[in-house]
Amino acid sequence: MLQTLNRPALEQETLRVSALHALVYCPRLFYLEEVEELYTQDAAVFAGRRLHAELAKANDEDWDELTLESPELGLRGKVDALRTRDGQIIPYEHKRGRCYRGNNRQPQAWESDRIQILAYALLIEAVLGVPVSEGRIRYHADNVLVHVPLNAEGRQAVHNAIHQARQLRQSPQRPPVTDNERLCVRCSLAPVCLPEESRLAHNPDYPALRLFPRDDDREVLHILEAGTYVGKTGEQLKISRQNQPDEKFPARQIGQIVLHSFSQISTQAMHFCADQQIGLHFISGGGRYIGSFDTRQGSIQRRIQQYKALSNPEVCLNLAKKLVACRGQSQRKYLMRGQRGMAEIPPPLTAAIDQMQRLLKQVDLAPTIDSLLGLEGNLAACYFGALSHLLGEDTPPELRFTGRNRRPPHDRFNTLLGFGYALLLKDVINAILVVGLEPALGFYHQPRTQAPPLALDLMEIFRVPLVDMPIVASINRQQWDVDADFEVHKTHIWLSDSGKRKFIELYEKRKQETWKHPATNYSLTYRRILELEVRLLEKEWSGEAGLFGQLVLR
Amino acid sequence: MSEHKNWYLICYDIREPKRWRKAYKLLKGYGDTLQYSIIRCRLTMRDREKLRWELEKILEPEDSLLIVGLCNSCLERICLCNRPEAWSIQDTGFRIL
Ligand code: SF4
């Protein structure tokens, strides 16, 4: 399985000329695009395309767009424009930006652009069998035309680049981030590459300029009413509810659709969601996470690295320790926080806090995953045993909490926890899918029931801040109606529609609050932190370890 | 730091019904119609450029298109000078239906 790393087929495959452009710009960019197959399109990419669309319309001159491939040379590509000047064939490239200016202010091509146009020139020679003496690049922002001669040095430079590209394609190792930070500012893959975080991982004092991922502030649509129909019309999503006029939403404003209970969604709408990268998640009427529509297959290379790392027991044990320590410490800190402002601190609360301290000391020494599971169980027992002391005195008895029970929950507090964890699970899975990791391969939890292990692993980090804390706070604010917000059955208790509505609001609002990330020292919304944490986990096994699992409550 | 977004008002005059429908459909995927042929969208730079490119593929030289970016004080003034429903904003990040 892991042999696929040395994909021999790739050797035969020609390189896109634009990949050479990326290589000269930054070898890591080349690697992320060509080997890990990650592409993102930023504003500049679309602006460039529009320039080409406009140029194509202004066809006052001969306009030839040619797709060429030469296996001998090892290149393929689409030439923007070929023109004949005085009997000479000359390839042209159009760039939106400005040219490079050296010391003497002479306009010059950027090195990556230079290699690109030279590669096109070589490609034309090889395929069409005509000699090419130069290429030209027009920089539209400062309206400069740069001539790039195809001489012996230029030919050699292209061949060198091709050679380097082939070697990198065979390498299992992602190249380091570039030293030239200015390149990253304009790099379309920065949200995936996370150059700032990589620099931070190597040097904790590194002053990060900005951090990724950017917040995806598209809306999350929760479809609560059973029998609702989700369809697509044009570029919009259409939601039809019983006895209500249809509602339409511009697709680009929606980031996730969560279908609670039994609603319908058309196949067309599902295709559309896949196309627009809208996450689609299903939660049962009883508040259980069912699954997600996963179409965002991560690059196989990225997953192979994950398999390699996570089939190593030592790597798993180390990551699991970070995880257990992270959750345990947050639980303990939360109990300590609860003590503040109490007139009289209940002795069981103090006892739990002390006991947890002792247990936490053992986490780092745990020899096996099994022993960690034992420790985690003890930590959780202490924590949940003491959690009820954080509830105010006027909490109605129905909302009191005596201990964790689930599948199905027997009391209201556990119902709230269960529903909260289901919502959290869908967000963690959403983040895992966006990042392109394999949710089924985790390092701590064993494959069980519906939830994929990696998602259960990552969830540990967020249970306290995103679910436990808002629940306790909402109970203390007396937000719950013990009758109207719950449905009491013989064997279990579920949230009623009004209860779910309240909870979703509570949870989604919480996700928009910010938290100062202890490792990066940046204030980020929880929404972003969810994805960031998955990316930091991925970095644990790709040479930039150290930032994962440090999200501990203060 | 959420990705920076701005409001835009997009007005257009397209000479041929087929192109008009295409552009209209596309624009509805980005924002809400305020009036016939006037759409408002809240876009990141990336989305704005993507939209401009997608529109460029549809439009012909005889069509016209106006994209007006609005700053915060523009927005305030719009709200100030108009009836309240002229520019209502729902910005909670989630919806429950
Ligand atoms: S963000 Fe910087 S280091 Fe990463 S690929 Fe782009 S240029 Fe290279």
The 10s digit of each residue's pLDDT in A438-452 is 888 888 887 766 688
Q: Which two tokens stand for residue A280?
A: 């689609």
- B interface with A, Cβ–Cβ < 8 A, is 1-3, 5, 25-26, 28-32, 41-42, 44-50, 52-53, 56-57, 61, 92-97
Of A317, A325, A321, whose CA–CA distance to A553 is shortest?
A325
> Count of alpha carbons within 13 Å of A521, Cβ hemisphere only?
9
| CB-defined site of ligand 1, < 6 Å | A 26, 28-29, 32, 177-178, 183-184, 187, 189-190, 193, 195
> Between chain A and chain B, how many beta carbons pairs sit less than 8 Å apart?
99
pLDDT at A299 (0 to 100): 66
Q: Which residues of chain A have pLDDT under 50?
A: 1-5, 9-10
The edge-to-edge listing of strands for the beta sheet with A15-16 is A15-16, A75-79, A66-70
Stretch (H or E) spanning A302: helix A300-310
The whole-number pLDDT of residue A2 equals: 46
Indicate the residue type of A207. Answer: P
Give the span between the Cα atoms of B33 and B9, in whole angstroms.
Answer: 10
A492: left (phi over 0), alpha (psi -120 to 50) or beta: beta
Calpha distance A199→A187 (Å, rounded): 16
User: What's the A49 CA to ligand 1 centre distance in angstroms?
Assistant: 22
Backbone φ and ψ of A514, nearest 5° = -105, 155
Å between A366 CA and nearest CA of chain B: 38
Contact A46 B52 (CB under 8 A): yes
- The strand order across the sheet containing A219-223 reads A289-293, A279-283, A254-260, A219-223, B94-96
Query: Omega before A408 cis (within 30°)?
Result: yes
Position A186 scores a pLDDT of 81
Mean pLDDT by 10 residues, chain B (97 residues): 74 89 89 84 86 89 88 80 74 77
Chain B residues with CB-CB distance to A247 below 8 A:
97
CA–CA min distance A95, chain B (Å) = 15
Question: What proportion of chain B, given as a percentage, has pLDDT over 90?
Answer: 5
pTM over the 0.80 mark:
no
Could you report the predicted ipTM of this complex, rounded to two decimals?
0.71
Closest alpha carbon to A161 in A25, A14, A24, A12: A24
Give tens-digit pLDDT for B69-96.
Answer: 888 888 888 777 877 777 777 666 788 8
